[in-house]
Amino acid sequence: MERGGALLFSLLALAMSLHIGYLRAAVTLPPEDRPLTRHFYKKLNTCANVEAFVKHQVTLFWNQDKSITAKLFKLLYADCMVNGCDGSILLDGRYAEKNAPQNSGLGERIFEIIDKIKTVLEIRCPGAVSCADILNLAARDAAHLAGAPSYPVFLGRRDGLESNAAWVDYPSPSSSWDTVVTYANSKGLDEQDLVTLLGAHTMGRTHCQFIRDRLYNFKSTGKPDPRMKRSLLKDLRQQCPPNTQKGKEDPLVYLNPENGPGYKFTNSYYKRVQSYQAVLGVDQQVLWGNYSLVDAYAKYFEQFRREFALSISRMGGLRVLTGKKGEIRLNCRFTNGNNPSIK
């Protein structure tokens, strides 16, 4: 089989298993020595029950804190969209990706959850499962608990050896639609992937700093975004004053007030976009960027669920390290060469 052919076949199999009648063009194929595969660790007999172990831990954490679904989505995006899905977002270091200003909202707790899962796997299957695969599995399992489909995760990623905050280049929440589409394309995703993955904003929170321009000074006019529904504007202004008080943290607001603390995976994001109730500027622009897809997802929840599974799988395959590239970290926060517990 030609290089990358196995992953193409795997994505086709995923599309068929989810009853999607076609496979979109521009599938990103990693330059691998060995392609990602289903049941990778079972086939190698290195950790046959890895998925059950990860799912059990994720379920324990999710039962305590349902917000981990949104946080794991963000963590997976932060990993895959910078240097590929290599677990580099998990590495500690003063100048590591996790310490980039754009990642200030991730919070330490979500990294501790990955640490716990890794600790369990190191007991069960020492030195076998990569941190990059753990992150992809954990995001899938948390998504399913919140209402998304339990899609197959192709495994075999290895962990990167570097992490650099300077690599973090996500577009701002106020970027134009053309800018965010160009960004997605540059990483290997198409516009449909972008519209679909933004649906993850049906849950989660954002800092007021990312929406103040829409509330008070849209495009330097000194006025709010005229397209935002007045009732939403009023509510958000109550939560986000023009300036954060000295000595206090910037407030957080729900990306989807309709879901609020429920953290349910629904298609209400698209319905709110249609009624001009998106919180982030980039989310509202989805309406004009691809109205037909927004309308379809707003009407047909199952279509959104199926397409989300395909798009997040595509993102999870971006620029992965496989074969002899990278390593299997023993601690997700350190490369093995820098791990203080390895002498």
Q: pLDDT by residue (tens digit) across 51-78?
A: 999 999 999 999 999 999 999 999 999 9
Judge whether 142 lies within some domain.
yes
Q: Which residues are annotated as a binding site?
A: 79, 82, 84, 86, 88, 97, 171, 201-202
Q: 176 lies in a domain? A: yes
Q: How confident is the model at residue 22 (pLDDT cuts 50, 70, 90)?
A: very low
| pLDDT confidence of residue 9 | 46
Q: What is the pLDDT of residue 244?
A: 82
Percent of the chain with pLDDT strictly greater than 90: 83
Q: What is the pLDDT of residue 322?
A: 95
CATH label of the domain that carries residue 325? 1.10.520.10
Provide the residue range defining the domain that includes 72. 40-204+255-336
- Give burial (CB, 10 Å; 0-12/13-18/19+) of 166: exposed
Q: What is the pLDDT of residues 278-321, one digit of tens each?
A: 999 999 999 999 999 999 999 999 999 999 999 999 999 999 99
Question: pLDDT-based confidence at 341, cuts 50/70/90?
Answer: confident
**What residues form the annotated binding site for substrate?**
171
Determine the average pLDDT of the residues in 137-143. Answer: 98
Reference 51, options 154, 149, 145; nearest CA is: 154
Residue 252 has a pLDDT of 95
Predicted local confidence at residue 245, as pLDDT: 79
What pLDDT sits at residue 23?
46
Return the pLDDT at 58.
Answer: 98
Which parts are annotated binding residues for heme b? 201
Identify the CA nearest to 145 among candidates 41, 206, 254, 70: 70
pLDDT band at 7 (very low <50, low <70, confident <90, very high): very low
- Top pLDDT among 311 and 104 is at 311
Taking residues 175-186, what's their average pLDDT?
96
pLDDT at residue 340, as a whole number: 85
- Detail the residues annotated as belonging to a binding site for Ca(2+): 79, 82, 84, 86, 88, 97, 202
66 assigned to some structural domain = yes
Closest CA to 200 of 122, 139, 151: 139
Looking at residue 104, its pLDDT comes to 87
Mean pLDDT calculated for residue range 34-60: 94
What is the Cα 44 distance to its own chain's centre? 28
Q: What is the mean pLDDT of residues 309-334?
A: 96
Does any domain span residue 14?
no
45 occurs within a structural domain: yes
Does the pLDDT of residue 5 top 90, yes or no? no
The answer to whether residue 174 scores a pLDDT higher than 80 is: yes
User: Does residue 86 sit within a domain?
Assistant: yes
Q: Confidence class of residue 24 from pLDDT cuts 50, 70 and 90?
A: low
Task: Compute the average pLDDT of residues 138-161.
Answer: 97
Beta-strand pair 252-254/205-207: antiparallel
Structural domains counted in the chain: 1
Mean pLDDT in residue range 234-261: 91
Confidence of residue 3 (pLDDT cuts 50, 70, 90): very low
d(CA 292, CA 199): 15
pLDDT at 13 over 80: no
Residue 215 lies in a domain: no
Decide if 238 is inside a domain.
no
Residue 128 has pLDDT above 70, yes or no: yes
pLDDT (mean) for 14-37 = 52
Mean pLDDT of the chain: 90
Give pLDDT, residue 221.
Answer: 95
Q: How far apart are CA 114 and CA 90, in angstroms?
A: 9
Enter the pTM of the model.
Answer: 0.89
CB atoms within 10 A of CB 269: 28
- Of 315, 199, 312, 210, whose CA–CA distance to 252 is shortest? 210
| Per-residue model confidence (pLDDT) at position 11 | 52
**What's the pLDDT band for 259 if we cut at 50, 70, 90?**
confident
